[in-house]
Amino acid sequence: MASFLEKKTLILRNLQEVLGEDKLDAILKERDLKIYWGTATTGRPHIAYFVPISKIADYLKAGCEVTVLFADLHAYLDNMKAPWELLELRVQYYEHSIKAMLSSIGVPLDKLKFVRGTEYQLSKEYTLDVYRLSSSITEHDAKKAGAEVVKQLDNPLLSGLLYPGLQALDEEYLKVDAQFGGVDQRKIFTMSEKYLPQLGYAKRIHLMNPMVPGLAGGKMSSSEEDSKIDLLDSPAIVKKKFKKAFCEPGNITENGLLSFAKHVIFGLFQPDEKFKVSRNEANGGDLNFSTYEELEICFSEQKLHPADLKASVEFYINRLLDPIRKIFDTPELQELVAKAYPAPVKPKKTEKNNSKQPDEISPYRLDIRVGKIIEVSKHPEADALYVEKIDVGEDQLRTIVSGLVKFVPINEMQNRLVVVLCNLKPAKMRGVESSGMVLCASAEIDGVKFVEPLEPVEGSKPGDKVFVESYEQGEPDKILNPKKKIWEQLQVDLKVSDSCEAQWQSHNLRTSIGKILSKSLKNVHIS
């Protein structure tokens, strides 16, 4: 039987932060810890899920009682646009995927408890506690708690504000001592510690994993195809993605390959197993690393080439994915994958004009281009407005009025590349006709408003078309009909991701040479 110190070491290794370590010590001296890990069943699980899965293996080795929660109701509250029928299929996909991952690393499923949120979250008792909690939590605290987890809008739906409170209540209803999750959930955890005692419930321990960088740098995301390896990607696709992976010689920060090696590969090794790098004799021969620290030092000193690191991590990833691919290689599970995550609908064409049906509300209808501000001045009748002359690739400059005076100094506006919505109906703004809109990331944080114009990738030029990935086909409307509110319906799903990428329903906005970004604002609305 493992000692107190051995159990604690297994529980805490590779975590970024722990809240309630004193309580953890007290419980471990008396009995084994009860922990839950929840996952909202939205985007397809990818290899970064092996980070929490490998920690679950640690918890089981430490004798913990572990509950895995498939948070279907949370997914419904967060995802907003997906119908319940689709989320039910995704719950099934998650359950098969998580169990396959656990089997892949040799975790016995009979030691785990699997629960769906709706098995208890629709009960009378839970519902009454939701009302009790809602009468205590302020709108500010609820919005702040979900800022890094729940989809953010300027006018948030009530569902997104409920999400953090439900996650807090899960700790009580699952009868656990601790909740385990990513460090991006820290604000939900601290909200739970503040408000659960107000209902007469105990404050729980919170164990937080770091966020693993993606292959392209930044957070690994289900919505960013090049940043992640899907659990069902073939070896050929894995190799293709690894060729594009960010891996600068000697750079150990924002390095998704090294992070995966640290948080997953080394943690799953048998006692005598080593991380092997296969090289021919001309390049120095094979290398073997007993610890992650040895691997990191070798790479930082540039004694290990990025290509050799990529090849080694690729080998270990494929070793993890092979059992999962085999499990899913059945007609039933292939059908489940197709139904749970249907491919994006391709543009429909009419026989007459080869364009999409005119009444379809889809982002192809927006005429968005890169623009360059040639002239800028203060509006003669409004102190908060700029009047800009912008080159959007036409014969004449466009006049556009923007409310950016309080957010961007006039000298920073001159000759700036911006992103312009060009097919709004011209409208007079305090006597000056404006023929378009400069798209910006915007947010209100603690009562202070922040606005940043979106930025095209370096090398863009005026007139470059900006499109939404998977919606490249189709001609934009000449003028968006204001009565049909096409822009308003599409705008609600325009946001900036946690990697500063401009997106529509998680599909990136980009030009032919790169993505559209905000300078610093994350998880905010675009207007």
Where helices occur in 251-373 by DSSP H, the ranges are 256-260, 266-268, 292-300, 306-327, 331-340
pLDDT recorded at residue 409: 95
The first and second tokens of residue 322, run together, are 């092979």
Say if residues 233 and 321 touch (Cβ distance below 8 Å): yes
Q: Is the pLDDT of residue 220 over 50?
A: no
What does the pLDDT average to over 418-429?
A: 94
The first and second tokens of residue 31, run together, are 């009995």
What does the pLDDT average to over 351-379?
A: 79
- 437-438 and 440-445 strand pairing: unpaired
Q: Is the pLDDT of residue 201 over 60?
A: yes
What does the pLDDT average to over 488-499?
A: 90
pLDDT recorded at residue 188: 92
pLDDT recorded at residue 78: 67
Running DSSP on this structure, what letter comes out for residue 47? G
**437 exposure class (CB count in 10 Å sphere: 0-12, 13-18, 19+):** buried
Query: Looking at this protein, which amino acid is placed at residue 131?
Result: Y
- Buried/exposed code over 170-204 (b: 16+ C-beta within 10 A; e: otherwise): bbbbbebbbbbbbebbbbbbebbbebbeeeebeeb
Tokens 């379809």, residue located: 360
Q: Is the pLDDT of residue 65 over 90?
A: yes
Lowest mean pLDDT among 72-76, 119-123, 213-217, 431-435: 213-217
- The CA distance from 298 to 319, in Å, is 24
Name the residue among 204, 186, 271 with its Cα closest to residue 15.
186
For residue 127, the number of C-alpha atoms closer than 13 Å in the C-beta half-sphere is 5
What does the pLDDT average to over 451-455?
A: 95
- The CA distance from 64 to 24, in Å, is 12
What does the pLDDT average to over 439-444?
A: 92
Name the residue among 418, 507, 424 with its Cα closest to residue 468.
507
Say if residues 288 and 276 touch (Cβ distance below 8 Å): yes
Query: For the chain, how are helix, strand and coil distributed in percent, rounded to 5?
Result: 40, 20, 40
Residue 346: pLDDT band with limits 50, 70, 90: low
**Higher-confidence position of 434 and 267:** 434
> In this structure, how many other beta carbons lie within 10 angstroms of the beta carbon of residue 126?
17
- The CA distance from 385 to 378, in Å, is 6
- The CA distance from 144 to 147, in Å, is 5
**342 exposure class (CB count in 10 Å sphere: 0-12, 13-18, 19+):** exposed
* Strand ranges in 112-170 using DSSP code E only, listed in sequence order: 112-116
Tokens 């204001």, residue located: 482
Name the residue among 116, 117, 118, 168 with its Cα closest to residue 142.
168
Lowest mean pLDDT among 139-143, 216-220, 375-379, 514-518: 216-220
Name the residue among 186, 303, 319, 206 with its Cα closest to residue 260.
319
pLDDT recorded at residue 22: 96
What does residue 253 show for φ and ψ, rounded to 5 degrees? -100, 150
pLDDT tens by residue, 141-170: 888 887 776 655 556 677 778 888 999 999
Q: Is the pLDDT of residue 376 over 80?
A: yes
**73 exposure class (CB count in 10 Å sphere: 0-12, 13-18, 19+):** buried
- The CA distance from 153 to 80, in Å, is 12
Model pTM? 0.64
The first and second tokens of residue 138, run together, are 């302020």
Provide the percentage of residues in the chain whose pLDDT is more than 70.
91
- The CA distance from 374 to 400, in Å, is 11
Say if residues 302 and 249 touch (Cβ distance below 8 Å): yes
- The CA distance from 204 to 124, in Å, is 23
**Higher-confidence position of 255 and 127:** 127
Residue 356: pLDDT band with limits 50, 70, 90: very low
Lowest mean pLDDT among 185-189, 230-234, 348-352, 380-384: 348-352
